[in-house]
Amino acid sequence: MNEKVLIICESIYHGNTHKLAVAMARKLNCRLITCEQAISENIQQYKIIGLGSGIYFTSHHPKLFNIVSRMENMQKAFLFSTHGRPFLGKYHESLKLALSKQGVTIIGEFSCRGYDCTGPYIIVGGGNKGKPNEKDQKKVAKFVARLLPEYSKNTDVVQNGNNIEIHYDECIGCGKCKTICPMKVFDIKNKKPIVINENDCIHCSLCKEQCPSQAIVIQHSWKEAIAIAKRHSKKNSL
Ligand SMILES: Cc1cc2nc3c(=O)[nH]c(=O)nc-3n(C[C@H](O)[C@H](O)[C@H](O)COP(=O)(O)O)c2cc1C
Ligand code: SF4
Ligand code: SF4
């Protein structure tokens, strides 16, 4: 476990920002806690702290400002957020200002859209559906890998289909993916799953959802959805 880096995330609305935080904590092999948990922690012992939340009324969550007030000027921070509106604008500015007043060095920032049902989105039943998605989670993992290469785990994909990835460094070899997959896409070799017929995959995500160590990533796209529909129409025709 990385003892130098800590991630603190307040994700109160739909857990959108939490998804980014999990991807980063996984990449950095570091702890991820909420502001509530951070109250009883000696956060000064960490060299670098990642601070993130959804954007609420044009700013990060107020609890993060309390955290910043306890940081010291030798510490470094990176910021992250998810926001509902099309543009990020100056949403990070107030937290950045608080950090610089505290003498904390800001080393980077990341933001992407998150599912939002507020304001004008009510009319259309919510905006940015499914966001942050797997692509965003990959992006944020890359962001921290570039920012802190010395602390980043090598999460190279060992088994990589076109759209199915198995992260062997996370996989515990339980075989659940093989058992659960309705299309028999996986086999187990040397106690690890391998993709044997990706063409049959219907992107149901059962394998991903049942994997106890979040080792599977399925890349969804319109192109693939259409390809699946075509394959099935052929299979079902006489
Ligand atoms: C009370 C409230 C206020 C919000 N204000 C903004 C805003 O000012 N700008 C914006 O882009 N999104 C705004 N949003 C949308 C959230 O930033 C977005 O849904 C975000 O992904 C929520 O993250 P979370 O699920 O981690 O809490 C607001 C959402 C809520 C609930
Ligand atoms: S997404 Fe569904 S069909 Fe595809 S490999 Fe996973 S369980 Fe099998
Ligand atoms: S379910 Fe996950 S952990 Fe278990 S074998 Fe499959 S990929 Fe590995």
Tell me what the pLDDT averaged over the chain comes to: 90
Domains of the chain in start order, with CATH, are 5-151 (3.40.50.360), 159-236 (3.30.70.20)
| pLDDT reading at 115 higher than 60 | yes
Cα–ligand 2 centroid distance for 160 (angstroms): 14
Nearest CA, atom 2, ligand 2: 204
Average pLDDT (185-200) is: 91
* Lowest-pLDDT choice from 15-19, 73-77, 105-109, 130-134: 130-134
Mean pLDDT value across residues 144-161 = 76
DSSP letter string, 39-103: HTS-GGG-SEEEEEEE-BTTB--HHHHHHHHT--TT-EEEEEEEESSS--TTTTHHHHHHHHHTT
CA 211 to ligand 3 center in whole angstroms: 5
pLDDT value of position 165: 86
> In degrees to the nearest 10, what's the CA dihedral of 238, 206, 157, 162?
20
If you average pLDDT over residues 176-198, what whole number do you get?
93
φ, ψ at 143 (rounded to 5°): -60, -50
Average pLDDT of span 109-136: 90
Across 1-5, 91-95, 224-228, the highest mean pLDDT is recorded for 91-95
Above 70 in pLDDT, residue 112? Answer: yes
Does any ligand 3 atom lie closer than 6 A to the CB of residue 175? yes
Å from CA of 190 to ligand 2 middle: 21
Residue 176 CA to ligand 1 centre (angstroms): 36
Q: Mean per-residue pLDDT for 180-201?
A: 92
Ligand 2 neighbours by CB, cut-off 6 Å: 164, 180-183, 185, 201-207, 218
Burial of 150 (0-12, 13-18, 19+ CB in 10 A): exposed
pLDDT, one tens digit per residue, over 58-86 is 999 999 999 999 999 999 999 999 999 98
Amino acid 158: pLDDT: 56
**Nearest CA owner, ligand 2 atom 6:** 207
Confidence label for 119 from pLDDT (cuts 50, 70 and 90): confident
